[in-house]
Amino acid sequence: MSFMNLTYLGHACFLLETSKAKILFDPFINPNSIVQEIRKSTLDKTLVSKLSVDEIECDYVLISHGHEDHVADAESILQRTGAKVVSNFEIVSWFNEKGISNNHPMNHGGSWEFDFGKIKYVSAVHSSVLPDGTYGGNPGGFIIQADGQTIYYAGDTALSYDMKLIGEEFNLDYAILPIGDNFTMGPEDASKAAKFVGCNNVIAMHYDTFGYIKVDHDKVQQLFSKNGQSVTLMSIGETKEI
Ligand code: NI
Ligand code: MN
- 178-197 residue pLDDT tens: 999 999 999 999 999 999 99
Closest ligand, as measured to the CA of 126: 1
Closest ligand, as measured to the CA of 124: 1
* CA 1 / ligand 1 centre spacing (Å): 33
Closest ligand, as measured to the CA of 213: 2
Q: List the one residue out of 211, 212, 163, 213 whose CA is nearest residue 191.
A: 163
- Quote the distance between the C-alpha of residue 204 and its chain's center: 10
pLDDT at residue 220, rounded to an integer? 98
Give Cα separations from 109 to 38, 118, 140, 143 (angstroms).
38, 13, 10, 10
Domain with 92, as residue range(s), is 5-241
Mean pLDDT score of the chain:
98
* CA 69 / ligand 2 centre spacing (Å): 5
Residues with CB under 5 A from ligand 2 (ion): 67, 69, 156
* CA 157 / ligand 1 centre spacing (Å): 8
Please, which residues have CB within 8 angstroms of residue 169's CB and are 6 or more apart in sequence?
none
Structural domain total, the chain: 1
Query: pLDDT, tens digit, for every residue of 132-167?
Result: 999 999 999 999 999 999 999 999 999 999 999 999
Q: Tell me the CATH number at 118.
A: 3.60.15.10
* CA 142 / ligand 1 centre spacing (Å): 15
* CA 67 / ligand 2 centre spacing (Å): 6
Give Cα separations from 119 to 16, 27, 50, 178, 204 (angstroms).
13, 18, 25, 19, 20
Indicate if the pLDDT at residue 1 is higher than 90: no
* CA 202 / ligand 1 centre spacing (Å): 20
Query: pLDDT, tens digit, for every residue of 105-139?
Result: 999 999 999 999 999 999 999 999 999 999 999 99
pLDDT at residue 2, rounded to an integer? 76
DSSP state of 235: P
* CA 19 / ligand 2 centre spacing (Å): 29
